[in-house]
Amino acid sequence: MAERVLMKGNDAIAEAAIRAGVQCYFGYPITPQNELTAYMAKHMMEKGRTFIQAESEVAAVNMVYGAASAGVRTMTSSSSPGISLKQEGISYLVGAELPAVLVNIVRGGPGLGNIAPSQADYFQAVKGGGHGDYHMVVYGPSTVQEAADLTMKAFDVADRYRNPVMILGDAILGQMMEPLVFSPYTSIPVDKPWAVGGERKGRKPNLINSLSLEEGVIEEWNWKFKKKYDEMRAHELMVETVNTADADIILISYGSTARICRSVMVAARKKGLKVGLIRPITLWPFPYAVLAQAAETTKEFVVVEMSLGQLVEDVKLAILDKAALHFHGRPGGGIPEEKDIHEILEHVLVRKRQGNKITTRGTVIDWEVS
């Protein structure tokens, strides 16, 4: 039987990547993901694999570009300001069709911000933070166990589509210790006849780039990429739904915040309130159809996230005006509190929006696009 271990999220992601066969890791110090880089320094070199502390996040992601070009499994990790620096490289990885795993242990921003947990990099991750049209699969793990499982899966998904994959965590997930079991992992082998380097043995030269100055070529590449994005939408979507069948109100949240919402849901159900939870596990592709379906029967939705309101826009796109949408968000390292979410549930379900206006900062009843 697989051994149960107690690990920090950052360490668990690193160990999962090692078990998934990452050959080259490139990092740069930034809190709150430093344990991940330190774990890699300790364990990659002793396994004869590559660890480099790069001179910058920019250099690290371009080392990833090189290693991915040569056909090995490779990754980098960072936190928000560092991920901003990697955006150029992420766009190039997509443009050159290179598989790689990127980890963002999100902290409060904008700017240097702080080192507290945040989900304010949602837009950057799912809407394409770099230049050009692109998408990548983005996982938003909620537990240390899930972070490890999804990290392993991320390498397979990256290889399958020749596209980067992002793990979007936050400071809670990265720093928190939890028990987990590393599931026996079998890599899905993928041929990489496109890679550069190694013995050519008569094959034609390979080219890794994202440039063409010939008319129409880049448009054609984009159409080809779109087919991949459509495949990802069709096959990679992951979402958890809990207690939604009879729900009068559904909480929507991902990552660490979804755990807070889960506690709220359990307590509210004990009080007789019919509360459900929808937790997107892939933030891209996004479960628009699942939400739209839920909005056919449930008429009240509450989005909870650690930002001024990013996930809420995707939820609005999904449910449109089929249901009322409410929002509770805490930016810049603030963490939503259970009592504030309970207050919204009471206000909507029990008091039917009468009197006692909600004064909690960060709450918007009947959220609208503005």
In whole angstroms, the minimum distance from the beta carbon of 71 to another protein comes to 7
DSSP-derived pairing of the beta strands 300-305 and 324-329: parallel
- CA 319 vs. chain centroid, Å, equals 22
Please check whether residue 306 is in contact with residue 257, taking contact to mean a CB–CB distance below 8 angstroms.
Answer: yes
Contacts of residue 46, defined as CB under 8 A and 6 or more positions apart, other chains included, come to: none
In whole angstroms, the minimum distance from the beta carbon of 74 to another protein comes to 7
Q: Which is nearer to another protein, 74 or 119 (CB)?
A: 74
In whole angstroms, the minimum distance from the beta carbon of 45 to another protein comes to 12
Q: Which is nearer to another protein, 112 or 211 (CB)?
A: 211
In whole angstroms, the minimum distance from the beta carbon of 14 to another protein comes to 18
Furthest-apart CA atoms within the chain: distance in Å = 78
In whole angstroms, the minimum distance from the beta carbon of 89 to another protein comes to 7
Please check whether residue 42 is in contact with residue 222, taking contact to mean a CB–CB distance below 8 angstroms.
Answer: no
Q: Which is nearer to another protein, 5 or 59 (CB)?
A: 59
Q: Which is nearer to another protein, 65 or 161 (CB)?
A: 65
In whole angstroms, the minimum distance from the beta carbon of 196 to another protein comes to 4
Please check whether residue 13 is in contact with residue 54, taking contact to mean a CB–CB distance below 8 angstroms.
Answer: no
In angstroms, the CA 277 to CA 253 distance is: 8
In whole angstroms, the minimum distance from the beta carbon of 203 to another protein comes to 9
Q: What is the binding site for another protein (CB under 8 A)?
A: 23-24, 26, 50, 52, 54-56, 58-60, 62-72, 74, 88-89, 92, 96, 196-201, 205-211
In angstroms, the CA 189 to CA 42 distance is: 26
In whole angstroms, the minimum distance from the beta carbon of 70 to another protein comes to 4
Q: Which is nearer to another protein, 93 or 277 (CB)?
A: 93
Please check whether residue 122 is in contact with residue 305, taking contact to mean a CB–CB distance below 8 angstroms.
Answer: yes
Query: What's the token pair of residue 158?
Result: 């990256």
Please check whether residue 124 is in contact with residue 109, taking contact to mean a CB–CB distance below 8 angstroms.
Answer: no
In whole angstroms, the minimum distance from the beta carbon of 46 to another protein comes to 16
Please check whether residue 366 is in contact with residue 324, taking contact to mean a CB–CB distance below 8 angstroms.
Answer: yes
Q: Which is nearer to another protein, 23 or 297 (CB)?
A: 23
In whole angstroms, the minimum distance from the beta carbon of 64 to another protein comes to 6
DSSP-derived pairing of the beta strands 239-242 and 275-280: antiparallel
Bin 12: left if φ > 0, else alpha if -120 < ψ < 50, else beta. Answer: alpha
Please check whether residue 98 is in contact with residue 63, taking contact to mean a CB–CB distance below 8 angstroms.
Answer: no
> Which residue carries 């930002």 as its tokens?
307
In angstroms, the CA 163 to CA 129 distance is: 15
Q: Which is nearer to another protein, 65 or 229 (CB)?
A: 65
In angstroms, the CA 183 to CA 3 distance is: 9
Q: Which is nearer to another protein, 85 or 116 (CB)?
A: 85
Q: Which is nearer to another protein, 74 or 143 (CB)?
A: 74
Contacts of residue 310, defined as CB under 8 A and 6 or more positions apart, other chains included, come to: 119, 120, 122, 123
Q: Which is nearer to another protein, 45 or 188 (CB)?
A: 45
